[in-house]
Structure 1
Amino acid sequence: MTKGFWHRIAAWCAFAPAPLPASQEQAEGAQARVQHAPKGGGERWRAVAPEPGAEAAALFAPYQPPASVRGAGAVLAQDSVTPALWGHGGAGLAWGNGLLAEGLTFRGYPALAAMMLRAEFRKPVEIIAREATREWIRLRVMGAQEENTPDTTPDTTPDTTPDTMPGPMPADPAAQAVPPPAYPRDAALRLRAVEQAFARLDVRDLMRRLVVQALGYGMGHVWIGLKGSAGNEALPLCLTSHGVGCGQLERLGLIDPVWTTPAQYNALNPLAADYYRPTGWWVQGTQVHASRLLSVVPYEVPDLLKPAYNFGGLALPQMLEASVQNFLRTRQAVSDMIGNYATRVLRTDMAGGMADPDGAPEIDAQGITARLAAMTAWQSSNGTFVLDRETEDFSISSASLSGLSELQAQSQEFMAAVPGIPLVKLFGLQPQGLNASSDGEIRVFYDEIAAFQQAHMAPVLRAILRLVQLDLWGWVDPALEFEFVPLWQMSEQESAAVERQKADMDEVNIRSGKITPAEARAREAADGTSLYRTLGLRATHTPPDPAGQTAQKAG
């Protein structure tokens, strides 16, 4: 990336004065700039009004990581975004106070970490992470009819596994056309080996913590740790047999985004694949190629704001900030109202009965204080107030508490609207009324979780599945896939009824000649909910006809 990209754009288009370098813009912010102009052999200074949008440009200044994150002497060229661009087309982003009030500026990782300590911010993040990994995944072989005997026929099926890595993943047809001899031909053995590798790497808990990190900080990274890769972190990693060998995958670990910052990215050509997409990262002083980090950004921001967010996205606590603050303020106000809903009122002769001994009309403050202290000490069911019958009267003034619970509940419900979590899941609040049920809300929430899994978790899991196969056999089976187990599960009785209906349908179809027993077995193999999906289901021969055998014996 070339430094001063927006500087050159402004100069070419001539729609705004040339902006200052990024460091000076950050220092001056929205203050009036001063331009230096020579006149008559001397020099003078004149004040110039701030450019439109300068305040917003200062709010979205590029993220500055801790000093130890970048390597020694490494400086990332920053975009000098002209303030005129922020204010282009009217007001633009020239509403800095609104940005700060609504939580639209990057809070920074220390502030986000502190926000995650509060239950109102932490619980929605944890619920989404737990629900996204609760039923986990189901491994299966897509469209393969497997036998329990070895097959020496070369497999010429091209590798159609999608490229899910941030970096380049060149095809390797020569290495992937024919599986190695150590590759098990039995589907059950392959699935069992992959499941054991996932358990060894603790992929399920890794993905749960990755979702927590991505939602809590706006971005999460998984580090691919290979044996013997020390010193080669800056080189691209290809997920082929030439890039990862058997037994080379050592571990998968999480990298906190506070210790990362982009090393380089393209800000010149929007048609390029790496436009505003880092190809390298600094990880606490070590430069790492992007293909060695599996990154997740749930809530991505526009390109102009990516440098300000460390090329991450909006964090869920930051999105919840306004709703949580409103709820905390409402909760405190309701608590104060309940604690002070009743006020005791003493009507007495303030000017006469409590005047000083000389008869001056001044009020004896000490006398009033002593009188109220005595009444406060006696306020119980066993206490007695002594009042002057002629000049004193006592009463209790109370405020109505009706409606406070509805106000507090409404402010609490706003916190559930942003993450889209049902109240029964987030707060344990059951719906009220006759025939009230939260099944519909839970089904909608499960659909949201399923969409989240496919959008953000599936690319990472697909890359890990590819890594595990290369580590086990040095070959990637394009037919080996996974699917997320639906969160909405049937009961045992419902599942048994469905299996019985499938068996009855297969029996009728086989007898009528619509399908053969082998085709019925193939359907069972492809059915992700079948009890026999992991078994060798390919029939080696057609079962004999019992009626024909009986006729032969009779003859």
Structure 2
Amino acid sequence: MALTSDTLVNLMSGLGTVRDKSAGGMFVLPLLDKSQVDNAYRGDWIARKIIDVPAFDETREWRDWQADKPQIEEIEAEEARLSVQRKVMQVRKLARLYGGAVLFIGTGDADPMQELRPDRIGAGGLKYLHVFSRHEMIAGELDQDPLSPFYGEPIKYSLAGKAGMVDVHPSRVVRFVGAEIPDRVMAYDGWGDTVLQAVYDAVMQAGSAAAAIAAMLQEAKVDIVKVPGFMENLATEEYRSKILQRYSLANTGKSITNTLMIDGEEEWDHKQISFATLPEVLNTYLQIASGAADIPATRLLGQTPGGLQSTGQSDIRNYYDRISAGQNLELRPALSRLDEILIRSALGKRPPAVHYTWAPLWQMTEVEKSEVALKKAQAVKAIADTGLIPDPAFARGVQNMFVEDGTFPGLDAALEEFGDEPEDKDEEAARLNAEEQGGTRTGDRPFHDAFDPAQPRGPDGKWITVGHAVELGRQRSGSFVRADLGPVAQADLISHLTGVDMSGFRHLLGSQAVAHIFRKHGSGEAKRGQLDVGPSDLTALRQILRAPNAIRKAEATGKHGEPRIEVEKTIGGVRYTYIAEVQRRKKRLAAVTMWKKQS
């Protein structure tokens, strides 16, 4: 009686029963030791590429830091000094080869068993980085305390030094694991398997197939000569010597004249081995090895894709997507411990805004880059023209898009330095000059009533009007302009409130801020006990800012923590409240919002 389990059984054919030859199959795991792994890596090109290629691709384009330009330069200089990119590639190779490897963070501390605190690292505090495999940096007992920040890591590492073994705290180690083992109990000191463990059979079979075909080449063509009395005469030494000389001479003659000369009673023939299907056989084994390694054949073997329409790009893109996912799921978490120290060592502090993105693996041509940029610009313009998204929100979204996709490295810091709004275009300079003369150009509409003829000229000599900014903001046209409202009054008081020296600062009103004011406070304000803000109220800004009744520091700050001020002024029984934000590098107090109510 046969006992079967939850699999397909056919009693008539014997499938799944004791008569089924495959029913006795099972998986066994012959573990590779270090010598086998070393021999495979050093002696087999496929095994070596399986280890090296992903580690190389993970790090070859490296990463783009997002920060101020001087900060980016300092961080990149620190990475270059420590050879961070090369050492991360090395440690990834060793982790894949042996199942585990580490980066040792050297800070010059006397006792490496003391926990490393990143907040105590100053400029130049990171002295060196060393790469060790799991066989060099010996892992101790695993930390089994679930409340410990180092849970699952060794309580300590041991490293051989001149004076004996040196114990190292896990906070000083950046740990990389090869092929993870699902069962923690089976994991040796928390390490994983060599990547070669799972692909070993596929690599061996591909190598054996290639070796077998190479051996067959030695017998690709065999000459057969029938000699009368050959076996009978072989008994004598003289005959054996003469027969060897005879056919050596015959082969020599054949190779020179392409003619084989034999005796009348001798017969000559040859046998050839057909290699017609062998390339397909070998390619099948190589494809299996490629699939086992999860590396496309175009990358692992340098193989040109087959088929008239095949370019191999889809395979490479899928592979790069997997590498990119590994960068974010494996590399980024592991490197976070190092990066917190690296940034402090480079800058002397840890600015919260400093971060990085992985550089794209797929490198576009210049033509492709220009096409992508053009399509983005066209899409941005098309959406902006619909007017469905408020201008300030849309501008911020477009800026974030270019920051996140890495199109302009350092853009985030540049926006903080130069502001979120573009520089004034002043496309109506001719009409402004005409108004200065008391009239307008033929065919142009008159200026808006809110135009202030006392408005000063900008630094470029062009006349920027409050009325122009108000009109563009009211229409939400998508155009950007800033109106200069004059120098900051009561600069000493504002300097004291904000902690920023107001020397040389000027008040500015942007069309984006105007659009925000009209949208939030231009209608329906009676429900909140306030009055609707209109264009004429904005023309009173210069009067409000020249002689305010009160100035205080606002509770809210800008997106990067910039201080804001709150200005109050009562005119004709109406109390105006105006909020402006400090833009340090451009020496501006830029309008944010404004509302009014009956005093």
TM bracket (short chain) = 0.5 to 0.7
Report the equivalent of 1:140: 66
* Residue 136 to residue 117, structure 1, CA distance change in 2 (3 Å): same
C-alpha separation in 2, matches of 1:320 and 1:455 = 22
Report the equivalent of 1:520: 395
* Residue 126 to residue 414, structure 1, CA distance change in 2 (3 Å): same
Aligned 8 A contact 1:234 1:287 in 2: yes
| 1:475 and 2:349 correspond | yes
Aligned 8 A contact 2:380 2:398 in 1: no
| 1:495 and 2:369 correspond | yes
| 1:331 and 2:210 correspond | yes
Report the equivalent of 1:74: none
Aligned 8 A contact 1:216 1:315 in 2: yes
Q: Identify the match of residue 248 of structure 2 among 358, 376, 393.
A: 376
* Residue 417 to residue 354, structure 1, CA distance change in 2 (3 Å): closer
C-alpha separation in 1, matches of 2:260 and 2:431 = 108
Report the equivalent of 1:202: 83
Q: Identify the match of residue 56 of structure 2 among 122, 130, 147.
A: 130
| SS of aligned partner of 2:324 | helix
Q: Identify the match of residue 529 of structure 1 among 395, 399, 406.
A: 406
Report the equivalent of 1:293: 173
Report the equivalent of 1:99: 29
* Residue 549 to residue 220, structure 1, CA distance change in 2 (3 Å): farther
C-alpha separation in 2, matches of 1:121 and 1:280 = 32
Corresponding residue pairs, total? 397
Aligned 8 A contact 2:123 2:344 in 1: yes
C-alpha separation in 1, matches of 2:133 and 2:69 = 37
Report the equivalent of 2:199: 320
C-alpha separation in 2, matches of 1:540 and 1:416 = 49
Aligned 8 A contact 1:345 1:397 in 2: yes
Q: Identify the match of residue 211 of structure 1 among 76, 92, 98.
A: 92
Aligned 8 A contact 1:524 1:533 in 2: no
Kindly provide the amino acid, as one letter, of the partner of residue 448 in structure 1. R
Kindly provide the amino acid, as one letter, of the partner of residue 537 in structure 1. L
C-alpha separation in 2, matches of 1:532 and 1:127 = 27
Report the Cα offset of residue 386 of structure 1: 5.7
* Residue 509 to residue 365, structure 1, CA distance change in 2 (3 Å): same
TM-score of the aligned structures, taking structure 2 as reference length = 0.59
| 1:341 and 2:220 correspond | yes
Report the equivalent of 2:71: 190
Q: Identify the match of residue 433 of structure 1 among 275, 297, 307.
A: 307
Report the Cα offset of residue 215 of structure 1: 1.4
Deviation per residue, 1:3-24 (Å, 9 max, x gap): xxxxxxxxxxxxxxxxxxxxxx
C-alpha separation in 1, matches of 2:371 and 2:27 = 60
| 1:221 and 2:99 correspond | no
Report the Cα offset of residue 511 of structure 1: 6.6
Report the equivalent of 1:179: none
- Map 1:538-553 → 2, pairs under 5 A: 538=416, 539=419, 543=424, 546-547=427-428, 550-551=431-432, 552-553=435-436
Deviation per residue, 1:44-81 (Å, 9 max, x gap): xxxxxxxxxxxxxxxxxxxxxxxxxxxxxxxxxxxxxx
Report the equivalent of 1:279: 155
Report the equivalent of 1:247: 124
CA RMSD of aligned residues (A): 3.3
Aligned 8 A contact 1:107 1:318 in 2: no
C-alpha separation in 2, matches of 1:368 and 1:98 = 53
TM-score of the aligned structures, taking structure 1 as reference length = 0.64
Report the Cα offset of residue 440 of structure 1: 0.6
* Residue 325 to residue 369, structure 1, CA distance change in 2 (3 Å): farther
Kindly provide the amino acid, as one letter, of the partner of residue 95 in structure 2. A
Aligned 8 A contact 1:211 1:220 in 2: yes
User: Once structures 1 and 2 are overlaid, which stretch shifts more, 286-295 or 518-527?
Assistant: 518-527
Report the equivalent of 1:76: none
Aligned 8 A contact 1:249 1:471 in 2: yes
Aligned 8 A contact 1:470 1:476 in 2: yes
Deviation per residue, 1:164-194 (Å, 9 max, x gap): xxxxxxxxxxxxxxxxxxxxxxx33333322
Report the equivalent of 2:38: 113
| 1:259 and 2:136 correspond | yes
Structure 1, gaps ≥5 residues long: 1-94, 142-186, 357-361
Deviation per residue, 1:484-523 (Å, 9 max, x gap): 1221233222322333344455556667654446962673
C-alpha separation in 1, matches of 2:321 and 2:385 = 39
C-alpha separation in 2, matches of 1:549 and 1:536 = 31
Report the Cα offset of residue 216 of structure 1: 1.8
C-alpha separation in 2, matches of 1:300 and 1:256 = 16
| SS of aligned partner of 1:207 | helix
Q: Identify the match of residue 116 of structure 2 among 224, 231, 237.
A: 237
